[in-house]
Amino acid sequence: MENRRIVVALGRNAFGTTFNEQKINVSKAAKAIADLVEDKYQVVVTHSNGPQVGMIQTAMTEYARLEPEDRTVAPMSVCGAMSEGYIGYDLQNAIREELLNRGIYKTVSTVITQVRVDPFDEAFSNPTKIIGRYMTKEEAEAEEEKGNHVVEEEPGKFRRIIAAPMPIDIYEIDAIKALLDAGQVVIAAGGGGIPVLQQGTHLKGASAIIEKDYTAAKLAEFTGAKTLLFLTAADKLTIGLGTDKEEEVDDIKVEALVKHINEGDFPAITTLPKVDASVRFVSAIEGSRAVIANLEKAKDALNGKTGTTITA
Protein backbone atom coordinates (compact mmCIF):
# COMPACT_ATOMS: atom_id res chain seq x y z
CA MET A 1 0.00 0.00 0.00
CA GLU A 2 1.33 3.45 -0.92
CA ASN A 3 2.54 5.58 1.98
CA ARG A 4 0.24 8.64 1.99
CA ARG A 5 1.59 10.17 5.19
CA ILE A 6 2.97 13.67 4.63
CA VAL A 7 4.39 16.56 6.65
CA VAL A 8 3.45 19.98 5.28
CA ALA A 9 5.59 22.94 6.38
CA LEU A 10 4.05 26.37 5.87
CA GLY A 11 6.62 29.00 5.02
CA ARG A 12 8.27 31.87 6.80
CA ASN A 13 5.97 34.82 7.55
CA ALA A 14 3.09 32.82 6.02
CA PHE A 15 0.42 34.40 8.22
CA GLY A 16 1.14 38.13 8.01
CA THR A 17 1.55 40.60 10.86
CA THR A 18 -2.01 41.29 12.08
CA PHE A 19 -4.96 39.23 13.30
CA ASN A 20 -6.91 40.03 10.14
CA GLU A 21 -4.01 39.10 7.86
CA GLN A 22 -3.63 35.83 9.74
CA LYS A 23 -7.32 34.98 9.29
CA ILE A 24 -7.02 35.55 5.53
CA ASN A 25 -3.78 33.61 5.19
CA VAL A 26 -4.82 30.59 7.24
CA SER A 27 -7.83 30.28 4.93
CA LYS A 28 -5.48 30.08 1.94
CA ALA A 29 -3.38 27.45 3.71
CA ALA A 30 -6.51 25.52 4.67
CA LYS A 31 -7.53 25.19 1.02
CA ALA A 32 -4.14 23.70 0.11
CA ILE A 33 -4.25 21.28 3.03
CA ALA A 34 -7.84 20.27 2.30
CA ASP A 35 -6.78 19.45 -1.27
CA LEU A 36 -4.28 16.95 0.16
CA VAL A 37 -6.79 15.44 2.58
CA GLU A 38 -9.24 15.10 -0.31
CA ASP A 39 -6.49 13.26 -2.18
CA LYS A 40 -6.27 10.74 0.71
CA TYR A 41 -3.07 12.05 2.31
CA GLN A 42 -2.56 11.71 6.08
CA VAL A 43 -1.44 15.22 6.92
CA VAL A 44 0.74 16.69 9.65
CA VAL A 45 1.00 20.47 9.40
CA THR A 46 3.79 22.55 10.87
CA HIS A 47 4.31 26.25 10.42
CA SER A 48 6.46 29.30 11.01
CA ASN A 49 5.69 31.58 13.95
CA GLY A 50 7.50 34.62 12.57
CA PRO A 51 6.72 37.40 13.24
CA GLN A 52 4.10 36.30 15.78
CA VAL A 53 6.54 35.06 18.42
CA GLY A 54 8.42 38.35 18.29
CA MET A 55 5.17 40.28 18.63
CA ILE A 56 4.20 38.19 21.66
CA GLN A 57 7.63 38.65 23.22
CA THR A 58 7.42 42.41 22.70
CA ALA A 59 3.91 42.57 24.18
CA MET A 60 4.87 40.51 27.23
CA THR A 61 8.00 42.59 27.77
CA GLU A 62 6.03 45.84 27.61
CA TYR A 63 3.45 44.40 30.00
CA ALA A 64 6.18 43.56 32.50
CA ARG A 65 7.67 47.04 32.18
CA LEU A 66 4.42 48.63 33.38
CA GLU A 67 4.98 47.22 36.88
CA PRO A 68 8.56 45.91 36.95
CA GLU A 69 8.48 45.18 40.68
CA ASP A 70 5.54 42.78 40.39
CA ARG A 71 5.90 41.31 36.90
CA THR A 72 8.59 39.38 35.10
CA VAL A 73 9.26 39.11 31.39
CA ALA A 74 7.83 35.95 29.82
CA PRO A 75 10.55 33.45 28.81
CA MET A 76 11.01 32.81 25.10
CA SER A 77 9.80 29.24 25.57
CA VAL A 78 6.49 30.57 26.93
CA CYS A 79 6.20 33.03 24.03
CA GLY A 80 6.76 30.12 21.64
CA ALA A 81 4.04 28.10 23.36
CA MET A 82 1.63 31.03 23.11
CA SER A 83 2.33 31.39 19.40
CA GLU A 84 1.74 27.67 18.84
CA GLY A 85 -1.60 27.95 20.59
CA TYR A 86 -3.05 30.96 18.85
CA ILE A 87 -1.77 30.15 15.36
CA GLY A 88 -2.90 26.56 15.81
CA TYR A 89 -6.33 27.76 16.94
CA ASP A 90 -6.85 29.81 13.79
CA LEU A 91 -5.35 27.18 11.50
CA GLN A 92 -7.26 24.18 12.84
CA ASN A 93 -10.58 26.03 12.63
CA ALA A 94 -9.84 27.16 9.06
CA ILE A 95 -8.92 23.60 8.01
CA ARG A 96 -11.96 22.13 9.78
CA GLU A 97 -14.28 24.62 8.07
CA GLU A 98 -12.75 24.03 4.63
CA LEU A 99 -13.08 20.25 5.03
CA LEU A 100 -16.70 20.51 6.19
CA ASN A 101 -17.50 22.75 3.22
CA ARG A 102 -16.27 19.89 1.02
CA GLY A 103 -18.31 17.29 2.88
CA ILE A 104 -15.27 15.84 4.66
CA TYR A 105 -15.81 15.09 8.36
CA LYS A 106 -12.39 14.87 9.97
CA THR A 107 -11.11 16.13 13.31
CA VAL A 108 -8.29 18.68 13.24
CA SER A 109 -6.10 18.90 16.35
CA THR A 110 -3.26 21.15 17.46
CA VAL A 111 -0.55 19.63 19.65
CA ILE A 112 1.56 21.98 21.77
CA THR A 113 4.92 20.42 21.01
CA GLN A 114 8.15 20.39 23.01
CA VAL A 115 11.39 19.69 21.16
CA ARG A 116 14.59 18.66 22.88
CA VAL A 117 17.74 20.61 22.08
CA ASP A 118 21.34 20.12 23.18
CA PRO A 119 22.47 22.57 25.89
CA PHE A 120 25.93 22.42 24.32
CA ASP A 121 24.68 23.25 20.81
CA GLU A 122 27.05 25.87 19.42
CA ALA A 123 24.02 27.98 18.48
CA PHE A 124 23.78 29.11 22.11
CA SER A 125 27.22 30.70 21.75
CA ASN A 126 26.45 32.10 18.29
CA PRO A 127 22.82 33.32 18.26
CA THR A 128 21.34 34.18 14.86
CA LYS A 129 17.57 34.75 15.28
CA ILE A 130 16.55 38.41 15.56
CA ILE A 131 13.31 39.01 17.48
CA GLY A 132 11.25 41.72 19.12
CA ARG A 133 11.02 45.47 18.77
CA TYR A 134 13.79 47.99 18.17
CA MET A 135 15.55 49.21 21.30
CA THR A 136 17.61 52.28 22.15
CA LYS A 137 21.26 51.89 23.05
CA GLU A 138 20.40 52.24 26.74
CA GLU A 139 17.73 49.52 26.53
CA ALA A 140 20.14 47.27 24.62
CA GLU A 141 22.80 47.72 27.29
CA ALA A 142 20.23 46.82 29.95
CA GLU A 143 19.42 43.62 28.03
CA GLU A 144 23.10 42.71 27.85
CA GLU A 145 23.40 43.21 31.61
CA LYS A 146 20.70 40.54 31.98
CA GLY A 147 22.82 38.16 29.89
CA ASN A 148 20.83 38.55 26.68
CA HIS A 149 22.42 39.04 23.26
CA VAL A 150 21.63 42.13 21.19
CA VAL A 151 22.57 43.26 17.71
CA GLU A 152 22.63 46.70 16.11
CA GLU A 153 20.42 46.03 13.10
CA GLU A 154 20.46 49.66 11.93
CA PRO A 155 22.48 52.63 13.22
CA GLY A 156 21.15 53.36 16.69
CA LYS A 157 18.51 50.61 16.48
CA PHE A 158 19.10 47.44 18.48
CA ARG A 159 17.17 44.17 18.73
CA ARG A 160 17.48 40.97 20.71
CA ILE A 161 19.13 38.03 19.03
CA ILE A 162 18.68 34.48 20.28
CA ALA A 163 19.93 30.99 19.56
CA ALA A 164 18.55 28.65 16.89
CA PRO A 165 19.66 25.17 18.05
CA MET A 166 19.02 21.98 16.10
CA PRO A 167 16.10 19.74 17.13
CA ILE A 168 17.01 16.36 18.59
CA ASP A 169 13.77 14.76 19.76
CA ILE A 170 10.04 15.52 19.85
CA TYR A 171 8.43 14.68 23.19
CA GLU A 172 4.83 14.54 21.96
CA ILE A 173 5.61 12.35 18.93
CA ASP A 174 3.57 9.39 20.24
CA ALA A 175 0.51 11.63 20.64
CA ILE A 176 0.99 13.00 17.13
CA LYS A 177 1.23 9.49 15.67
CA ALA A 178 -1.81 8.31 17.64
CA LEU A 179 -3.89 11.20 16.28
CA LEU A 180 -2.71 10.43 12.74
CA ASP A 181 -3.57 6.76 13.19
CA ALA A 182 -7.03 7.86 14.35
CA GLY A 183 -7.53 9.66 11.04
CA GLN A 184 -7.08 13.21 12.26
CA VAL A 185 -5.29 16.14 10.64
CA VAL A 186 -2.58 17.18 13.09
CA ILE A 187 -0.97 20.59 13.55
CA ALA A 188 2.27 20.23 15.49
CA ALA A 189 5.60 21.86 16.32
CA GLY A 190 4.54 25.34 15.24
CA GLY A 191 7.52 27.65 14.99
CA GLY A 192 9.80 24.63 15.25
CA GLY A 193 8.29 23.60 18.57
CA ILE A 194 9.10 24.79 22.09
CA PRO A 195 12.84 24.30 22.66
CA VAL A 196 13.48 22.49 25.93
CA LEU A 197 16.48 21.15 27.82
CA GLN A 198 16.08 17.80 29.57
CA GLN A 199 17.19 17.91 33.20
CA GLY A 200 16.39 14.53 34.69
CA THR A 201 12.61 14.27 34.59
CA HIS A 202 12.22 18.04 34.22
CA LEU A 203 11.95 19.86 30.89
CA LYS A 204 13.34 23.40 31.10
CA GLY A 205 12.39 25.89 28.40
CA ALA A 206 15.38 27.24 26.47
CA SER A 207 15.81 30.87 25.43
CA ALA A 208 15.84 29.97 21.75
CA ILE A 209 13.81 29.49 18.59
CA ILE A 210 14.21 26.30 16.58
CA GLU A 211 14.30 26.63 12.80
CA LYS A 212 10.96 25.09 11.86
CA ASP A 213 12.27 23.48 8.66
CA TYR A 214 14.58 21.21 10.66
CA THR A 215 11.78 20.25 13.03
CA ALA A 216 9.58 19.52 10.01
CA ALA A 217 12.20 17.06 8.80
CA LYS A 218 12.26 15.39 12.23
CA LEU A 219 8.45 15.21 12.24
CA ALA A 220 8.49 13.51 8.87
CA GLU A 221 11.18 11.07 9.99
CA PHE A 222 9.52 10.20 13.31
CA THR A 223 5.96 9.86 11.96
CA GLY A 224 7.03 7.56 9.13
CA ALA A 225 6.11 10.02 6.39
CA LYS A 226 7.73 9.52 3.01
CA THR A 227 7.01 13.05 1.78
CA LEU A 228 8.11 16.38 3.25
CA LEU A 229 6.38 19.31 1.54
CA PHE A 230 7.58 22.89 1.97
CA LEU A 231 4.98 25.41 0.83
CA THR A 232 6.30 28.87 -0.02
CA ALA A 233 5.53 31.91 -2.16
CA ALA A 234 7.77 30.60 -4.96
CA ASP A 235 6.78 28.00 -7.56
CA LYS A 236 10.11 26.17 -7.48
CA LEU A 237 13.53 26.08 -5.85
CA THR A 238 15.87 28.60 -7.42
CA ILE A 239 19.62 28.05 -7.46
CA GLY A 240 21.81 31.15 -7.40
CA LEU A 241 18.95 33.61 -7.00
CA GLY A 242 19.96 37.06 -8.25
CA THR A 243 23.19 35.84 -9.85
CA ASP A 244 24.19 35.12 -13.44
CA LYS A 245 23.72 31.39 -12.80
CA GLU A 246 20.13 31.74 -11.51
CA GLU A 247 18.14 28.63 -12.39
CA GLU A 248 14.82 27.09 -11.37
CA VAL A 249 14.93 23.32 -10.96
CA ASP A 250 12.20 20.70 -11.36
CA ASP A 251 14.03 17.68 -9.93
CA ILE A 252 17.36 17.41 -8.17
CA LYS A 253 19.35 14.72 -6.39
CA VAL A 254 20.82 15.15 -2.92
CA GLU A 255 24.40 14.94 -4.19
CA ALA A 256 23.89 17.86 -6.57
CA LEU A 257 22.01 19.83 -3.93
CA VAL A 258 24.82 19.44 -1.40
CA LYS A 259 27.25 20.77 -3.99
CA HIS A 260 25.13 23.90 -4.40
CA ILE A 261 24.84 24.29 -0.61
CA ASN A 262 28.63 24.15 -0.29
CA GLU A 263 28.97 26.76 -3.03
CA GLY A 264 26.67 29.16 -1.17
CA ASP A 265 23.92 29.16 -3.80
CA PHE A 266 21.01 29.64 -1.37
CA PRO A 267 20.03 32.62 0.84
CA ALA A 268 20.96 31.71 4.42
CA ILE A 269 17.81 33.02 6.10
CA THR A 270 15.06 31.97 3.69
CA THR A 271 16.05 29.06 1.45
CA LEU A 272 19.05 27.32 2.99
CA PRO A 273 17.18 25.81 5.99
CA LYS A 274 14.58 24.22 3.68
CA VAL A 275 17.24 22.82 1.39
CA ASP A 276 19.43 21.53 4.22
CA ALA A 277 16.43 20.00 6.01
CA SER A 278 15.39 18.33 2.75
CA VAL A 279 18.85 16.81 2.37
CA ARG A 280 18.80 15.50 5.94
CA PHE A 281 15.34 13.94 5.57
CA VAL A 282 15.84 12.36 2.16
CA SER A 283 19.25 11.02 3.19
CA ALA A 284 17.82 9.47 6.38
CA ILE A 285 14.67 7.83 4.99
CA GLU A 286 14.89 5.37 2.10
CA GLY A 287 12.44 6.03 -0.71
CA SER A 288 11.50 9.47 0.58
CA ARG A 289 11.19 12.80 -1.19
CA ALA A 290 11.12 16.46 -0.28
CA VAL A 291 9.10 18.89 -2.37
CA ILE A 292 9.36 22.68 -2.45
CA ALA A 293 6.40 24.40 -4.09
CA ASN A 294 3.94 27.28 -4.12
CA LEU A 295 1.24 27.18 -1.46
CA GLU A 296 -1.53 27.39 -4.04
CA LYS A 297 -0.10 24.54 -6.13
CA ALA A 298 0.52 21.93 -3.45
CA LYS A 299 -1.49 19.11 -5.02
CA ASP A 300 0.00 19.68 -8.47
CA ALA A 301 3.50 19.68 -6.97
CA LEU A 302 2.95 16.28 -5.36
CA ASN A 303 1.81 15.00 -8.75
CA GLY A 304 4.99 16.28 -10.42
CA LYS A 305 3.31 19.07 -12.39
CA THR A 306 5.16 21.92 -10.68
CA GLY A 307 7.53 22.57 -7.79
CA THR A 308 10.92 21.02 -7.12
CA THR A 309 11.29 17.39 -6.03
CA ILE A 310 14.40 16.32 -4.11
CA THR A 311 15.34 12.65 -3.92
CA ALA A 312 18.34 10.54 -2.99
DSSP string, 37-53: HHTT-EEEEEE--TTHH
Number of H helices, E strands in the chain: 9, 17
Q: Does the pLDDT value for residue 1 go beyond 80?
A: no
pLDDT tens-digit map of 161-174 = 999 999 999 999 99
Residue 11 binned pLDDT confidence (cut-offs 50, 70, 90): confident
Rounded to the nearest integer, the mean pLDDT of the chain is 94
Q: What is the pLDDT of residue 143?
A: 84
Element containing residue 133 per DSSP (H, E): strand 129-135
199, β-bridge pairs: 202
Q: What is the pLDDT of residue 7?
A: 99
Q: What is the mean pLDDT of residues 10-14?
A: 80
Residue 2 binned pLDDT confidence (cut-offs 50, 70, 90): low
pLDDT tens-digit map of 97-110 = 999 999 999 999 99
Cα(311)–Cα(303) distance, integer angstroms: 15
Residue 37 binned pLDDT confidence (cut-offs 50, 70, 90): very high
CATH topology of domain 5-311: Carbamate kinase (3.40.1160)
Q: What is the pLDDT of residue 117?
A: 98
What are the extents of the domains in the chain?
5-311
pLDDT tens-digit map of 13-36 = 778 888 888 889 999 999 999 999
Q: What is the mean pLDDT of residues 170-187?
A: 98
Residue 146 binned pLDDT confidence (cut-offs 50, 70, 90): confident
Q: Does the pLDDT value for residue 215 go beyond 80?
A: yes
Query: Quick one: angle between helices 173-181 and 212-223, nearest 10?
Result: 60
> pTM (2 decimals)?
0.94
